[in-house]
Structure 1
Amino acid sequence: MLTYTALTTLPGKSQAEALGEALEELDPAPTGVGVFEVEDGKGIWEVGGYFLDAPDDIDLALLSAAFGAGPFVVSEVPDQDWVAKVRRELPPVEAGRFFVYGSHDAALLPEGRIGLLIEAAMAFGTGHHGTTLGCLRAYDRLLNDAQRFDNVLDLGCGTAVLAMSAARMGAASVLASDIDPVAVEVALANVKANGLEGRVGCVESIGFDSPVVQA
């Protein structure tokens, strides 16, 4: 089964957002629309739609002309099992004493390391991204310096890998929160898979808004 993407660029945030809104009104309608600033400092924005059916070329041409954008580039995207692809292509991550791995790599867990089982899913935090890896390494260094952390909040937890690392190290109270309900579901599943139920709480929260997080 083929799906389709349609991408264009134009200057200005307000124009790009307006084009994104107009793109949502097409028939067939896109299943998702993204509006992103191109990181080149020139104020150029990219607008794209993801379609289950091929978008109409004339409709796209009219939209690009109306909003002063470049011609839409339409591409076919073959159906792919992205979770399986991630599992194949993301090797385990080592960060000091921590070893982040998928179930398919369970046999690779080194003796004496603290294993954190994270399955590929629709949530950020496999340990490969610089922020997650950097936090794990920083936490490991702090522990090496005899620092102790009893109350831990993993804000924007994604897969909850950081919260689980704190629980593994004996933190008394660990809470993982995320703005995305899908991420919270993934976090709960990972907590259960790692045998940390009752030791890591998972809540949906916009920043610090949740009463549970505030408490």
Structure 2
Amino acid sequence: MSVDQLSVSLSKDQAYALVDAVSERDDLALTASAHEIEETGEWVFEATCDSPPDMDGFSALARQVLGGDVTFSVEAIDPEVNWVAKSLEGLAPVIAGGFYVYGSHSTDAIPEGLTPMRIEAAQAFGTGHHETTTGCLEAIEMILRRRTPRRMIDIGTGTGVLAIALAKRVEARILATDIDPIAVTTTIENARDNNVAEQIHSIEATGLDHPEIVDGAPYDLIVANILAGPLTDLAPGMGQIADSSGIAILSGILNTQADGVIAAYEAAGFSLVEHLKRKDWTTLVLRKH
């Protein structure tokens, strides 16, 4: 299989908006990201795609999201290289919510008083570096100070980082789900590497109607770091699987999308507890009532 990389220089807000829109599509890209070039301060949108990429589809989506035409550059890349992992190899450890997230490449000593999690760069989202993940880790720390959940689910688990964080702090089992089989495999491997494999059960599931999700309900803690669109669609189902006073920690939400997600969850029987903002991204903590 040949692989191409699309890129274009945009403003920071535009780059993140386009990443968000591409990520809600299953047919355009294998991965999408936005990053700043340190030397110039310029922001770049990048997408890795099967060849040939759907240029008409990208152009139409850019017009819809950004309100104008965008000229993408296309470069063929080596399909044998795990470009997601390669791009993350040099990332420094992250401290968030009392957790210390690091990769095996890190040579730094683990600080005392923090809960360590070794999360390797992989073809799944969640190394702790994105504001959505750090926001969730901070929210988890906040909730665990107030209560000890016993029935937990991590929806859209990615690398399993949030499920592992919970397992490190609470002696209970966590159901970790994702639509991507690579994410499921990655979560299982990371849980094993962090010595919490017996606590985490990871399954491939779309939506909330998988038998194992239904059988495990009601949940007193739900975490979901995905995207605003899917989170909004899942709101009624979240209301059904949440305990009567259950907590939902939601992220993957741009600040500009937060009000819409809050409204959807209020309609599903939740009330807002905390609204955390980290740069352009929101993490919500809601309680079922």
1:5 Cα shift?
Answer: 4.9
**Alignment partner for residue 88 of structure 2, among 86, 89, 92?**
86
| Superposed CA RMSD | 3.1
Q: Assess if the C-alpha contact under 8 Å between 2:152 and 2:175 holds in 1.
A: yes
For 2:144, what is the secondary structure of its paired residue?
Answer: helix
Q: Assess if the C-alpha contact under 8 Å between 2:154 and 2:163 holds in 1.
A: yes
Aligned mates of 1:42, 1:87 — CA distance in 2? 31
**Alignment partner for residue 38 of structure 1, among 62, 65, 69?**
62
Deviation string, structure 1 residues 135-191 (Cα, Å, up to 9, x no partner)? 1001112223x3211111000000111111111112412110001111111111111
Aligned mates of 2:69, 2:180 — CA distance in 1? 25
**Structure 2 gap segments, 5+ residues each:** 9-24, 29-49, 216-289
Aligned mates of 1:42, 1:110 — CA distance in 2? 43
1:106 Cα shift?
Answer: 5.4
Quick check: 165-174 or 73-82, which moved more?
A: 73-82
1:130 Cα shift?
Answer: 1.8
Aligned mates of 1:139, 1:120 — CA distance in 2? 22
Which residue of 2 is the match for residue 76 of structure 1? 75
Tell me: CA distance 1:44–1:153, structure 2 relative to 1, closer, same or farther (3 Å): farther
Aligned mates of 1:73, 1:39 — CA distance in 2? 12
1:84 Cα shift?
Answer: 3.2
Aligned mates of 1:181, 1:198 — CA distance in 2? 19
Q: Aligned pair count?
A: 169
Tell me: CA distance 1:73–1:169, structure 2 relative to 1, closer, same or farther (3 Å): closer
Segments of 4+ moved more than 6 angstroms: none
Please give the residue correspondences for 1:6-155 in structure 2 after superposition, counting only pairs within 5 Å: 30=51, 33=54, 35-36=57-58, 37-38=61-62, 41=65, 75-79=74-78, 82=83, 83-88=85-90, 90-105=91-106, 107-144=108-145, 146-155=146-155
Aligned mates of 2:172, 2:5 — CA distance in 1? 47
Which residue of 2 is the match for residue 188 of structure 1? 188
**Structure 1 gap segments, 5+ residues each:** 9-16, 21-28, 47-71
Higher strand share: 2
Q: Assess if the C-alpha contact under 8 Å between 1:149 and 1:171 holds in 2.
A: no
Aligned mates of 1:7, 1:141 — CA distance in 2? 38
Tell me: CA distance 1:97–1:3, structure 2 relative to 1, closer, same or farther (3 Å): closer
- TM-score of the two chains, using structure 1 as the length reference: 0.67
For 1:132, what is the secondary structure of its paired residue?
Answer: helix
- TM-score of the two chains, using structure 2 as the length reference: 0.51
Tell me: CA distance 1:203–1:137, structure 2 relative to 1, closer, same or farther (3 Å): same
Deviation string, structure 1 residues 76-131 (Cα, Å, up to 9, x no partner)? 3454663233111x211111211111011154321221111110000001111222
Tell me: CA distance 1:123–1:98, structure 2 relative to 1, closer, same or farther (3 Å): same
Tell me: CA distance 1:84–1:43, structure 2 relative to 1, closer, same or farther (3 Å): closer
Give % identity: 36
